[in-house]
Amino acid sequence: MKLFAGNSNVALAEQIVKYLELPLGRATVRRFADQEIFVEIQENVRGEDVFIVQSTAYPANDHLMELLIMIDAMRRASARRITAVVPYFGYARQDRKAGGRTPISAKLVANLITEAGADRVMTLDLHAGQIQGFFDIPTDNLFSVPLLSRDIKAHVDLDNCMVVSPDVGGVVRARSLAKRLDAMLAIVDKRREKPGESEVMNIIGDVSGRHCILVDDIIDSGGTLCNAADALMAQGARSVRAYITHGVLSGGAVARIEASRLEELVITDSIQPTKAIVEAKNIRVVSTANLLGEAIQRTAAEESVSSLFD
């Protein structure tokens, strides 16, 4: 087994190989003057079980091309099996036709990864679980709920907490976390007027006097989360924290979170944190390296991955 990394999240890859007690594979990913990407694998991978760690985070298209070219390089170097480990699958929000004459980009990206030569895909908290069906190769969608629930148990008063879904679409995810914590569940009912903006309408559930935990898969602009925190506090919540898997945090999101009524935002390192995120006073990052490392180890050994979440 050998593990390689693109440029999107080298720090996570280094933590994964530390867990696996392996060296990080040697590869060069560089650009020509016109930004064309060139990849060179600098060690023998013939007959090896190869894992490539690469999130499609900002700049998403560059990192996606890096992944595709690395897969092609491994295939042409006669790797026995190639697994694309994509902790953050960036095109997952485009999983259906949202209107007339619009693409289903998640399916297109799945096709690209398959045609490049990947034999298997491993990802974390897909925006929509059915995206697994877009791939014509085996796909493991790992869940961060066990990881986040352990952190919540260490930092939150469970006797008086309530898990909150920031929208109706995230109820299944929130219910799974609430079940692990043996906590009650509430839902924020909101209406989105246009992309990137949301209006909180109503809170379904009694949050008065509770320590509320908002849970979601992606935080981008942060507007939805900040509006939800305001609405929960207005309904009498004692405190509001948020646990989000993928911290995209684009534009002025970090400043928005720092100025919000959120006591704390906890994200994972599926996307490499920026300097602004690391320095933010109310944002904390938890590592997915052990979870991904264990899943990689079990995949290489042909053992069950789903039992990680029993």
The CA distance from 62 to 180, in Å, is 38
| Catalytic residue (choose from 107, 190, 275, 281) | 190
Q: 100 labelled as ligand-binding?
A: no
282 and 185 in a common domain: yes
Q: 130 labelled as ligand-binding?
A: no
Token pair of 49, please?
């079980």
Task: Encode pLDDT of 262-294 as tens digits.
Answer: 999 999 999 999 999 999 999 999 999 999 999
8 and 138 in a common domain: yes
Task: Encode pLDDT of 111-157 as tens digits.
Answer: 999 999 999 999 999 998 899 999 999 999 999 999 999 999 999 98
pLDDT of 190 over the 80 cut: no
Q: 221 labelled as ligand-binding?
A: yes
pLDDT at position 195, please? 61
Which of 99-110 are b and which e, b meaning 16 or more Cβ less than 10 Å from the residue's Cβ? eeeeebebbebb
Q: What is the CATH number of the domain that holds 212?
A: 3.40.50.2020
278 and 158 in a common domain: yes
135 and 124 in a common domain: yes
The CA distance from 77 to 108, in Å, is 25
Q: 132 labelled as ligand-binding?
A: no
299 and 192 in a common domain: no
179 assigned to active site = no
pLDDT of 215 over the 70 cut: yes
Q: What are phi and psi of 59, to 5 degrees?
A: -75, 115
173 and 134 in a common domain: no
Domain that holds residue 162: 145-287
Biggest distance spanned by C-alpha atoms of the chain: 61
In total, how many domains does the chain have? 2
For residue 155, the Cα-to-chain-centroid distance in whole angstroms is 22
219 and 104 in a common domain: no
Give the mean model confidence (pLDDT) for residues 296-309. Answer: 95
The CA distance from 211 to 209, in Å, is 7
Q: 46 labelled as ligand-binding?
A: no
Token pair of 67, please?
């992944």
96 and 67 in a common domain: yes
120 and 40 in a common domain: yes
160 and 129 in a common domain: no
151 and 177 in a common domain: yes
272 and 241 in a common domain: yes
pLDDT at position 94, please? 94
Give the mean model confidence (pLDDT) for residues 85-95. Answer: 95
pLDDT at position 64, please? 98
Task: Encode pLDDT of 44-68 as tens digits.
Answer: 999 999 999 999 999 999 999 999 9
